[in-house]
Structure 1
Amino acid sequence: MSSPTILILVREPTADSEALALALARQGAHALIRRPEALTVAIDGRSLTIMDGNGAPLAVDAALGWTSLAARDAGLWLLRALEQAGVPVMNRAAVLDGGQLKPVGSLVLAAHGLPHARTLLAGADADPDMLIATLGLPMVVKPCLGTKGGGVRLITDRTDLVTLLAAAAASRLPLYLQEHVPNSGVDLRIQCVDYRPSYAFRRHAAPGAFVTNLHAGGRAELVAPIPPALAALAMAAARAFDAPIAGVDLIESPDRGPVILEVNMTPGFFTAAVLAGDQRVVIEPAARAAADAIARGLIRMAASRRRGAALGHGTAA
């Protein structure tokens, strides 16, 4: 039997997609790295065919939905087409779609009773004094759709909040507001693969910065071993979202214990090592192990699909 072919659908080739392609190759699988713009879906009656840029049918056994916000519109419908064609996808389109929307993420955490930073989804007509009375100042505002720490900032006064409410009225989007949990500029990212914690690192904000994101200049510090209580919480969060791959961001509050900020559906599991500076030497082996674990999961999905096709239960992409 030929080696399985895994499609990696990406905004652009990154350290993550390259690491995963190598991990798949080490385990005897073949990776196809494609941007959504390179693919075409042919619909003929009830039949779907996924085609490469040259029009050749693309035969894949499983797919990784690594379509971040910049490729969201183009990527999500392609993931749905792949699923409809019988191709198993990690993370599924519905998981990626909901997980990328921060208000939906807060609702999922609340529905599963997981500790979450107090959050307000405020309409443009909300009374700013009521919002301040509920969350206090300072509070944090985040874009409903955002990544890499972009648009995340601290609101320190009423005037700033009133300005943001006016902007929300113009955009017809709610304000996504969270309490400011004191953290000394440090939070924790736990990378989960197959719903289980793979590795973790603390993120330290750059001097004078508010966000801890590594893309914004934050500093990484490997956490090993992961404390059991935090590992269990991260696993519960990944399962709440039904996300085999998830990055769980939380703050370790001395007064309240761990508080989840959000759960990322496309965490940079290998990019974290690339951006880790002098910590790369210790984080990279953990990131490589995460890539191997993702590859194993995709190969298992591919094998399951092939077994189904052999029994006549599958459809061809």
Structure 2
Amino acid sequence: MSAAEAVTDGAGGPAAEFWLVVGTGLAGRRIVGELTDACERLLTGRYKVVHTDELLLGVHGGRLTLHDLDGAPLAAPAVAYARMSSALLSTDREITLLRHLEAMGTVLLNPTGAVLACVNKFWHLQQLAVAGLPVPDTRSYADAPLAKVIDAGVPEPCVVKAVRGQQGRQVFLAPDAAMLRAVQGSLKDDSPYVFQRYVAHSHGRDLRVVVVDGRAVAAQVRSAADGDLRSNLALGGTAELCPGRYPAGEELAVRAAEALGLGVAGVDLLFEPDGGFTICEVNVHVGWRAYMTEVAPAVVTACRARLDAVGGAGAGIGPGTGPGPVSGAGPVT
């Protein structure tokens, strides 16, 4: 019996070697469609689009299992790439699924630990700073009262961000600590904030670099609308493609993705007055515009390279045939 036959035996037919895992609310989105089209061209007959609400996770006889909603056992794929909403990401749901797949032997293009690091804006700053990469001077906290955090000293002026904010939401510029004291009572307290050095030279613009497998495959300068601090396109900003225009920025973006262990990342860089760059943040579930046609094929090519490296075939199947107990799986909070 071949390796492929061994991992699909009892799993209801041939197993897909690669899964494109699609999270809640993302079915039918353009980017999922682009990735699916690229899979059809580059991984014909080897892939499957799997939605997170179609899977059942389990443990049977000390082994990890996967089933569909009809109760049929599923083989874990050899390689998977997950497209999920960072805003909705939960350690009890999506992260649990990613841990389960990794523990069953699946190679994730963006490993669980790297996904977790990017969900929290301060977590990935920690890792980037330890790696010696340029990040803004930043203050944050765990349980301290916000008023006392401000009194203890924050950069002035500073950019204020919720650690779990997305698409420019819960981000604003505070000119000084007095203004922060005036508004701190109106700030949501469901998660901490970071207070970062304001890079005035980059006000309302940044360089977004999409990195795939250690290579900058797309770059664009994003500019805010109406003098806003935030250059997010979701808030009405504009973008100009600029591949190769800022090689130092693209190189820094590649190093940032590497430091976090990401196979796919969107790295946002701030322009410094001396011509250099500072890393603003790194996005694990990076979006891209329809005109950035090189991104989806690059992502699927990276997945195919990992399939070739592991020899294809599934990672493991249901009751009694998967790997043993979990060890070394990524952290949860």
Normalised by the size of structure 2, how large is the TM-score? 0.80
Q: Specify the code of the residue in structure 1 equivalent to 2:54.
A: A
Q: Specify the code of the residue in structure 1 equivalent to 2:196.
A: Q
**Mapped contact 1:7–1:64 kept (Cα < 8 A):** yes
Q: Are 2:6 and 1:6 equivalent residues in the alignment?
A: no
Cα distance in 2, alignment partners of residues 69 and 300 from structure 1: 26
SS of 2:140's equivalent? strand
Cα distance in 2, alignment partners of residues 58 and 223 from structure 1: 43
Q: Are 2:53 and 1:37 equivalent residues in the alignment?
A: yes
Instruction: Tell me which residue corresponds to 2:82.
Output: 65
**Mapped contact 1:9–1:75 kept (Cα < 8 A):** no
SS of 1:197's equivalent? strand
Instruction: Tell me which residue corresponds to 1:278.
Output: none
Cα distance in 1, alignment partners of residues 312 and 47 from structure 2: 20
Residues 273, 174 of structure 1: alpha-carbon distance in 2 compared, 3 angstrom cutoff: closer
Instruction: Tell me which residue corresponds to 1:238.
Output: 257
Residues 24, 265 of structure 1: alpha-carbon distance in 2 compared, 3 angstrom cutoff: same
> Superposed, which structure 2 residues align to 1:137-216 within 5 Å?
137=157, 139-162=158-181, 165-166=184-185, 171=189, 173-182=191-200, 183-216=202-235
Match of 1:136 among 156, 162, 166: 156
Instruction: Tell me which residue corresponds to 1:315.
Output: 316
Q: Specify the code of the residue in structure 2 equivalent to 1:8.
A: V
Cα distance in 2, alignment partners of residues 40 and 164 from structure 1: 45
**Mapped contact 1:69–1:146 kept (Cα < 8 A):** no
SS of 1:42's equivalent? strand
**Mapped contact 1:17–1:33 kept (Cα < 8 A):** no
Question: Deviations 1:143-174 (Å, cap 9, x if unpaired)?
Answer: 11122111111123434422565567x83743
Question: Deviations 1:223-250 (Å, cap 9, x if unpaired)?
Answer: 1224322222111111110111111111
Question: Deviations 1:241-263 (Å, cap 9, x if unpaired)?
Answer: 01111111111112362111111
Identity %: 29
SS of 1:190's equivalent? strand
Cα distance in 2, alignment partners of residues 154 and 88 from structure 1: 40
**Mapped contact 1:98–1:104 kept (Cα < 8 A):** yes
Match of 2:271 among 239, 243, 252: 252
Residues 10, 308 of structure 1: alpha-carbon distance in 2 compared, 3 angstrom cutoff: closer
Cα distance in 2, alignment partners of residues 68 and 217 from structure 1: 20
Cα distance in 2, alignment partners of residues 305 and 273 from structure 1: 32
> Superposed, which structure 2 residues align to 1:207-226 within 5 Å?
207-226=226-245
Instruction: Tell me which residue corresponds to 2:329.
Output: none
Bigger RCO of structures 1 and 2 (CA < 8 A, at least 6 apart): 2
> Superposed, which structure 2 residues align to 1:67-106 within 5 Å?
67-73=84-90, 74-106=93-125
Q: Are 2:27 and 1:50 equivalent residues in the alignment?
A: no
Residues 253, 7 of structure 1: alpha-carbon distance in 2 compared, 3 angstrom cutoff: same
Question: Deviations 1:71-108 (Å, cap 9, x if unpaired)?
Answer: 41121110110111111112111110112111111111
Query: Which range is displaced more, 62-71 or 227-236?
Result: 62-71
Aligned-pair CA distance for 1:19:
0.7
Instruction: Tell me which residue corresponds to 1:126.
Output: 148
Normalised by the size of structure 1, how large is the TM-score? 0.84
**Mapped contact 1:4–1:299 kept (Cα < 8 A):** no
Cα distance in 1, alignment partners of residues 177 and 32 from structure 2: 43
Aligned-pair CA distance for 1:31:
4.2
Residues 184, 69 of structure 1: alpha-carbon distance in 2 compared, 3 angstrom cutoff: closer
Question: Deviations 1:12-71 (Å, cap 9, x if unpaired)?
Answer: 122221111111111133543333222111210232222223333333332112222244
Question: Deviations 1:201-244 (Å, cap 9, x if unpaired)?
Answer: 01110114321111111101001224322222111111110111
Cα distance in 2, alignment partners of residues 214 and 158 from structure 1: 29
Q: Specify the code of the residue in structure 1 equivalent to 2:40.
A: A
Aligned residues: 295
Cα distance in 2, alignment partners of residues 229 and 157 from structure 1: 32
**Mapped contact 1:8–1:31 kept (Cα < 8 A):** no
Residues 145, 172 of structure 1: alpha-carbon distance in 2 compared, 3 angstrom cutoff: closer
Query: Which range is displaced more, 13-22 or 64-73?
Result: 64-73
5+ residue gaps, structure 2, are 5-13, 319-333
Cα distance in 1, alignment partners of residues 295 and 305 from structure 2: 15
